[in-house]
Chains A and B, each alone.
Chain A
Amino acid sequence: MSKLSADFPDEEGLLRGSRRDFLKQSSVLSAIALTPAQIVKAAAEKWDERFADALEKVTVNLEVNGVAHSVNVDPRMTLLDLLRENLDLTGSKKGCDRGQCGACTVHADGVRINSCLSLAVTNEGRKITTIEGLADGDHLHPMQEAFIKHDGFQCGYCTSGQIMSAVALVKEGRTKSREQISEFMSGNICRCGAYSNIVKAIREVKNNQV
């Protein structure tokens, strides 16, 4: 964790939001003592950036789809960006990035959440399941099968979020009526309007449960 920033003059808020810029400038200033060749080399290798990163990044340990990960992340990074950018799990989608559309829905310790509003660093020790973790090898999850069978999508952008939400919904037991399914799926928006087929898929999975 950076100790430098604690010494910054911040009463006026003048330097708020510019910590990284300050670090970059200061390391460039100290580079003046170096030979021109060294400066060029340092710039080419982005040492300013690396120095700032080392000070600012935080380690988070979490399990994603059964695999343990220990990653250094910028505290500003969301869980969604961690999954997509660092772990190459691009099944979770970024729609609104503000918790309004549900395309980023994943399970954290068994409950559905919006990964776009969860800072990655706050997921220390958690078990995350994404759409990539639902299938058992080549065998799709029953909810995935049901979405295909009932055409529960058109463009598909909201689908992984819809499926993650639907799996949780069945587990929560909120499938007593069409109205209840609609209400408790309201956090997942579908621009194509595949709602009626999504409800059919959910009802089939629920009815096939023993």
Chain B
Amino acid sequence: MNPFQYTRSAAAAGAIQSVLKEPHAHFLAGGTNLVDLMKMGVVLPERLVDINGLPLKGIEKTPTGLRIGALATNSAVADHPLVLEGYPLLSLAINAGASPQLRNMATVGGNMMQRTRCNYFFDTAMPCNKRVPGSGCGALTGINRMHALFGASDQCIAVNPSDMNVAMMALDAVVHVRGPNGERKIKFADFHRLPGDHPEKDNTLERGELITAVDLPAAAMAFNKHVYYLKIRDRSSYAFALVSVAAALNMIGSTITDARLAMGGVAHKPWRLQDAETFLKGKTADEDTFKQAAAIAMKGAKAYKYNQFKLTLAPNAIVQALKTASA
């Protein structure tokens, strides 16, 4: 691991000032992703600003929903009574990711900042525009089995690996950040970005900005009865998604009054399926409806040499997730 300066911060303002000191400084929370990347030589920070002492661990009701502090651990969120009651989709998604040990360490803010698991990003001997801008994309003509179906560019076809993000996306979460110029809110849908010409940028945070909390709106609690997070992976647990589907339905009898759908493992950001959601409104919950919704969701999908199977797997996963959620 390369040497770095270590700073412990007790307040957000100080942490932000510390991280602005060097161009390659990072906030350090749970470290489950960053420390791994540093061991691999993929990320070489000059300074780590330890924010674990900041008072950002709370999970509390607000007049508009639920506020989750950026330093709340994945386990604390998944097991929290208010999350289980109001936003069970988030619990399911978090528990589908990583292992219990990692979920005890990983934080909500850190999970949002998680880098891709693309092998070409991890292998420092290979080209990767995300790791070294301008070096090329190894995955484009390489082993691209895990890679994107939607929103990719000829610079990068990597996918966002987080399960939590898929549920946050479906639940219309709002991200609170604080930076050198004050505080602002970012819609979860606008937090992660598509690769375009700048795959090195995973998200829309500005330099020095720190995630402080994530808000779940009260309106998303309407989807607390019919939810499912289906994750398809190479083994039955503790692996990254080939495809995952977050499905949440609001139903009266067998009629779907409203739907939330998002996919993981298919794009550079959690992929919301808004057209399929619109289609599902007012329809009867049956396999035929779900198949049509899946077909709508898959419009525009583009596969590469080794991930063609996802073109079949993804719509089937959507149908299965909707079936389980509506049952």
* Interface set of A (CB-CB < 8 Å, partner B): 1-2, 5-6, 10-11, 13, 16-17, 19-20, 56, 58, 75-76, 78, 97-99, 102, 105, 108, 111-114, 117-119, 121-122, 124, 165, 168-169, 172, 174, 182-184, 186-188
Q: Is the CB of A117 within 8 A of B105?
A: yes
Most chain B CB neighbours (cut-off 10 Å) among A6, A58, A75, A78: A75
Q: Which residues of B in the span 123-138 have a Cβ within 8 Å of any Cβ on A?
A: none
Q: Is the CB of B102 within 8 A of A114?
A: yes
- Give the CA-CA distance A20 to B5 in the complex, in Å: 12
Q: Is the CB of A75 within 8 A of B4?
A: yes
- Give the CA-CA distance A97 to B36 in the complex, in Å: 8
Residues of A within 8 A of B3 (CB): 17, 19-20, 56, 76
- Give the CA-CA distance A117 to B30 in the complex, in Å: 9
- Give the CA-CA distance A117 to B36 in the complex, in Å: 7
Q: Is the CB of A118 within 8 A of B31?
A: yes
Q: Which residue of chain B lies nearest to A126 when distances are taken between CB atoms in the complex? A: B52
- B8 proximal to A (CB < 8 A): yes
Q: Which residue of chain B lies nearest to A77 when distances are taken between CB atoms in the complex? A: B1
Most chain B CB neighbours (cut-off 10 Å) among A17, A19, A117, A169: A117
Q: Is the CB of B100 within 8 A of A165?
A: yes
- In the complex, 29 of the A-B residue pairs with CB atoms within 8 angstroms, ordered by the A residue number, are A1-B7, A2-B5, A6-B5, A6-B21, A16-B44, A16-B46, A75-B48, A76-B4, A97-B39, A99-B99, A99-B102, A102-B99, A112-B100, A112-B104, A113-B104, A114-B102, A114-B105, A117-B31, A117-B36, A117-B102, A117-B105, A118-B31, A119-B35, A121-B6, A121-B50, A122-B28, A183-B237, A186-B99, A186-B100
- B75 proximal to A (CB < 8 A): yes
- Give the CA-CA distance A119 to B180 in the complex, in Å: 27
Q: Which residue of chain A lies nearest to B36 when distances are taken between CB atoms in the complex? A: A98
Of A6, A16, A122, which contacts B31 at CB under 8 A?
A122
Q: Which residues of B in the span 5-63 have a Cβ within 8 Å of any Cβ on A?
A: 5-8, 21-24, 28, 31-32, 35-36, 39-40, 44, 46, 48, 50, 52-53
Q: Is the CB of B32 within 8 A of A114?
A: yes
Q: Is the CB of A1 within 8 A of B100?
A: no
Of A113, A122, A169, A182, which contacts B52 at CB under 8 A?
A122
Q: A20-B3, A111-B104 are in contact. List 6 more A-B contacts (CB 8 A).
A: A16-B24, A76-B4, A99-B32, A114-B102, A119-B31, A165-B100
Residues of A within 8 A of B5 (CB): 1-2, 5-6, 75
Most chain B CB neighbours (cut-off 10 Å) among A16, A168, A174: A16
Q: Mark B91-108, 1 if CB is under 8 A from A, else 0.
A: 000000011111011000
- B2 proximal to A (CB < 8 A): yes
Q: Which residue of chain B lies nearest to A172 when distances are taken between CB atoms in the complex? A: B100
- B238 proximal to A (CB < 8 A): yes
Q: A75-B48, A111-B75, A122-B28 are in contact. Are A10 and B23 (CB under 8 A)?
A: yes
CB distance from A155 to the nearest CB of B (A): 21
Q: Is the CB of B102 within 8 A of A187?
A: yes
- Give the CA-CA distance A174 to B237 in the complex, in Å: 15
Q: Is the CB of B101 within 8 A of A113?
A: yes
Q: Is the CB of A187 within 8 A of B238?
A: yes
CB distance from B22 to the nearest CB of A (A): 7
Q: Which residue of chain A lies nearest to B32 when distances are taken between CB atoms in the complex? A: A117
Residues of B within 8 A of A2 (CB): 5
- Give the CA-CA distance A24 to B100 in the complex, in Å: 43
Residues of B within 8 A of A117 (CB): 31-32, 35-36, 102, 105
CB distance from A78 to the nearest CB of B (A): 7
Q: A165-B101, A186-B238 are in contact. Are A17 and B2 (CB under 8 A)?
A: yes
